[in-house]
Amino acid sequence: MIVRLWGTRGSLASSGPETAGYGGNTASVEIVHADGSILALDAGTGIRRLGAAIDASVERFGGIDVLVSNAGIQIVAPLDEFEFASWKKLLAIHLDGAFLTTRAVLQRMYKQGTGGSIIYMGSVHSKEASVLKAPYVTAKHGLIGLAKVVAKEGAKHGVRANVICPGFVRTPLVDKQIPEQAKELGISEADVIKKVMLKDTVDGEFTTLADVAETAVFFAAFESNALTGQSLVVSHGWSMQ
């Protein structure tokens, strides 16, 4: 998902669907300027190319105000059967990718001296756990820790960091899980949706892309350090705090 920020200055960088040079995956970065123009960049399979892609956006638009770190995949299996290579791949995409994009953008934001907002795409699984998802739950919990450190380090530079924690959103990533979980759990696909994915929501509804996008805009537009180092669950009541 690409979240576009419509504002009065600067640009927004969003990384996804996968990230730089880990697990055989490549990075894509889309920059959305306040005037609505878009710069789509292929960051390739290396850290240097990621930096070059971000530099290209700074050169074209004059700065970066918001990073949405949105890369992610899902692999489901019982922990006792989980392949180490799959474990490393998932953590690399979620956590190494978040680190690399954050570091690259922070360097530019600090240099600009105008502050900024770092937004991580967590999950209800940043707060809760589910069977078959050990590395995903581990990675999503890790994003909250990363955001808290960025919030503390970035405060003196006017840089905020927060995490969006959506419930299940009906994307290709979730659609892929439905038959996989049905097979692992020995239930129907309909029951995966009703009795696994949505059973703890207040209304049996999926979270929507619009729900997540509106939350991202809210975080991006909040300009003071009053809201930083926080995580907001958007899950139709699946997880309540």
Token pair for 145: 């820790």
**Single-letter amino acid, residue 50:** L
Both 95 and 175 in a single domain?
Answer: no
Q: Which residues pair with 30 in a beta bridge?
A: 14, 40
Is the Cβ–Cβ distance between 94 and 71 less than 8 Å? yes
Distance CA 191, CA 64 (A): 44
Both 122 and 216 in a single domain?
Answer: yes
Per-residue pLDDT, 71: 86
Q: What does pLDDT average to over the chain?
A: 86
Please list, in sequence order, all residues whose beta carbon lies within 8 angstroms of the beta carbon of residue 156, skipping any fewer than 6 positions away.
none
Strand 11-15, strand 27-33: pairing = antiparallel
Domain count, the chain: 2
Q: Is the dihedral of CA 140, 145, 150, 152 positive or negative?
A: positive
Distance CA 177, CA 74 (A): 8
**Single-letter amino acid, residue 214:** E
Q: Is residue 240 part of a domain?
A: no
Per-residue pLDDT, 60: 83
Q: pLDDT band for position 21 (50/70/90)?
A: very low
Q: Is 136 a catalytic residue?
A: yes
- Identify which of 221, 210, 212, 211 has the alpha carbon closest to the alpha carbon of residue 66: 221
Q: Is residue 46 part of a domain?
A: yes
Is the pLDDT at 39 greater than 90? The verdict is no
Strand 66-69, strand 27-33: pairing = unpaired
CATH number at residue 119: 3.40.50.720
Residues 22, 110, 120, 136: which is the catalytic one?
Answer: 136
Q: Is residue 193 part of a domain?
A: yes
Q: Is residue 96 part of a domain?
A: yes
Distance CA 33, CA 139 (A): 30
Token pair for 199: 């059973």
Distance CA 165, CA 121 (A): 7
Range of the domain at 57: 11-167+207-234
Q: pLDDT band for position 5 (50/70/90)?
A: very low
Is the pLDDT at 1 greater than 50? The verdict is no
Both 52 and 163 in a single domain?
Answer: yes
Q: Is the dihedral of CA 218, 227, 18, 6 positive or negative?
A: positive
Both 119 and 186 in a single domain?
Answer: no
Both 26 and 111 in a single domain?
Answer: yes
Q: Which of 1-10, 44-53, 201-210 has the highest mean pLDDT?
A: 201-210
Q: Is residue 183 part of a domain?
A: yes
Both 162 and 192 in a single domain?
Answer: no
Both 120 and 198 in a single domain?
Answer: no
Both 152 and 38 in a single domain?
Answer: yes
Both 151 and 101 in a single domain?
Answer: yes
